[in-house]
Amino acid sequence: MNPINTYIEHTKLNPTLTDRDCEQLVQEAITHQFAGVCIPPYWVKKVRRDLGEKSNIQLVTVIGFPLGYNRTEVKLKEAELALHDGATELDMVLNVSAFKTGVATWIKPEIAQLAKLSHEAGAMLKVILETAYLTNEEIVTACRWSVDSGADFVKTSTGFAPAGATVEHIRLMRQTVGTHAGVKASGGVKTAEQALAMIEAGADRIGTSSGVSIVMGLQESSQSAY
């Protein structure tokens, strides 16, 4: 396993987020060399300036967040602006309403259009499934539709649903996508133990607002072993 910091997307998506919160997030990400920072679209331009143009830390933002039932045209415009502002990865919320209705003719083209837009800009697309609202069978279907439509990752949760990532769902998602896409665990991952369990189950990324405490907790555990 790689060092745990390389899995972490340092995340702040709370509605009261301020410029100082963003600055702290960036500094912590630089200090701990996290894989990325995940922030609302409003703050992408500022965070790009704070990170610098040549930073290896991914600038992740969210599209159609947190409910996902925006029209495709709205998601595309939001994505276009985010990419223009400097985002390198887009986490788009699945339209669970359309998905539950069985409208594959809406879901697949939407993901495909967002994937095309992202890839043309040299960015990646993750699809947030919001697994708390899905059965295991639906999770499998959503994963397959996402990968078939060009998504680079599937992700568990927004953090705004009744439940977040579980080891069982991560394992199921990994089994479904295989090596064709990445898997991101997000929602309720607050401790080093939880993060390690998600990685062991197949997660490539951990979206969390507790990245610093996770890294520090793992370092303390390592030191106490000697």
Domain housing 142: 4-224
- The catalytically annotated residue of 12, 85, 184, 204 is 184
Q: Give the count of domains, the chain.
A: 1
Q: Answer yes or no: 184 catalytic.
A: yes
Tens-of-pLDDT digits for all 226 residues of the chain?
899 999 999 999 999 999 999 999 999 999 999 999 999 999 999 999 999 999 999 999 999 999 999 999 999 999 999 999 999 999 999 999 999 999 999 999 999 999 999 999 999 999 999 999 999 999 999 999 999 999 999 999 999 999 999 999 999 999 999 999 999 999 999 999 999 999 999 999 999 999 999 999 887 766 655 4
The pLDDT of residue 221 is 67
Residues 161-171 as b/e (b if ≥16 CB within 10 A, e otherwise) read beebbbeebbb
- pTM of the predicted protein model: 0.96
Q: What is the distance between the alpha carbons of residues 154 and 185, in angstroms, rounded to a whole number?
A: 9
The pLDDT of residue 219 is 75
Q: What is the distance between the alpha carbons of residues 15 and 22, in angstroms, rounded to a whole number?
A: 12
The pLDDT of residue 125 is 99
The pLDDT of residue 130 is 99
Give the domain CATH number at 39: 3.20.20.70
The pLDDT of residue 222 is 62
**CB neighbours of 92 closer than 8 A, spacing ≥ 6?**
62, 63, 64, 68, 75, 79, 111, 114, 125, 126, 127, 128
- The catalytically annotated residue of 50, 91, 152, 204 is 91
Q: Answer yes or no: 77 catalytic.
A: no
